[in-house]
A = this chain, B = another copy of it.
Amino acid sequence: MNKNPANFVPLTPISFLHRTADVYGQNTSVIYENRIYTWSESRERCVRIASSLNSHGVMPGDTVSVLAFNTPEMFESHFSIPMAGAVLNSINVRLDAGTIAHILNDSNAKILLVDRELFEVASDALSISSSNPKVVLINDVFAESKPNVTENTIEYESLVENGDPSFKWQKPDDEWQPLSLNYTSGTTGQPKGVVYHHRGSYLMSMGTVIGWELPNHPVYLYSVPMFHCNGWGHAWTMAAVAGTVICLRAFSPEKVFDLLDRHKVTHFGGAPIMLNMLANAPKKIQKTFDREIKVMTAGAPPPAKVLESMMSLGFNVMHVYGLTETYGHILQAAPQTSWLSETPAGLAKLSSRQGVRFPMTEDVSVLDQETGEHVPPDGKTIGEIVIRCNTCMMGYLNNPQATKEVFADDWFHSGDLAVIHNDGYIQIKDRSKDIIISGGENISSVEVENVLYQHPSVGEAAVVAMPDETWGEVPCAFVELKSDQLVSENELIDFCKQNMATFKRPKKVVFGPLPKTATGKIQKHELRASVKDSGGV
Binding site for B on A (CB under 8 A): 1-9, 11, 15-16, 19, 22-24, 26-27, 176, 195, 200, 203, 206-207, 209-210, 213, 215-216, 240-241, 334, 336-338, 356-357, 359, 361-363, 386-390, 392-395, 397, 403, 407, 410-412, 424
B411 adjacent to A6 (CB under 8 Å) = yes
Please give the distance in Å from A486's CB to the nearest CB on chain B: 49
- Report the separation of the CA atoms of residues A336 and B4 in the bound assembly, to the nearest whole angstrom: 33
Please give the distance in Å from A238's CB to the nearest CB on chain B: 12
In the bound complex, residues from chain B placing their C-beta under 8 Å from that of A241 are 210
In the bound complex, residues from chain B placing their C-beta under 8 Å from that of A424 are 22-23
A6 adjacent to B392 (CB under 8 Å) = yes
Instruction: Please tell me which one of the listed residues B4, B338, B389 contacts residue A410 in the complex, with CB atoms under 8 A apart.
Output: B4
In the bound complex, residues from chain B placing their C-beta under 8 Å from that of A397 are 1
B1 adjacent to A403 (CB under 8 Å) = yes
Q: Which 6 pairs from chain A and chain B are nearest by CB?
A: A1-B395, A7-B392, A1-B394, A5-B410, A206-B206, A9-B362
In the bound complex, residues from chain B placing their C-beta under 8 Å from that of A361 are 19
B15 adjacent to A334 (CB under 8 Å) = no
Please give the distance in Å from A39's CB to the nearest CB on chain B: 13
A6 adjacent to B176 (CB under 8 Å) = no
Instruction: Please tell me which one of the listed residues B176, B240, B337 contacts residue A210 in the complex, with CB atoms under 8 A apart.
Output: B240
- Report the separation of the CA atoms of residues A336 and B362 in the bound assembly, to the nearest whole angstrom: 35
In the bound complex, residues from chain B placing their C-beta under 8 Å from that of A216 are 210, 213
- Report the separation of the CA atoms of residues A209 and B214 in the bound assembly, to the nearest whole angstrom: 10
With known contacts A213-B216, A359-B16, A3–B176 Cβ distance under 8 A: yes
- Report the separation of the CA atoms of residues A336 and B20 in the bound assembly, to the nearest whole angstrom: 12
- Report the separation of the CA atoms of residues A176 and B3 in the bound assembly, to the nearest whole angstrom: 9
A9 adjacent to B215 (CB under 8 Å) = no
In the bound complex, residues from chain B placing their C-beta under 8 Å from that of A395 are 1-2, 7
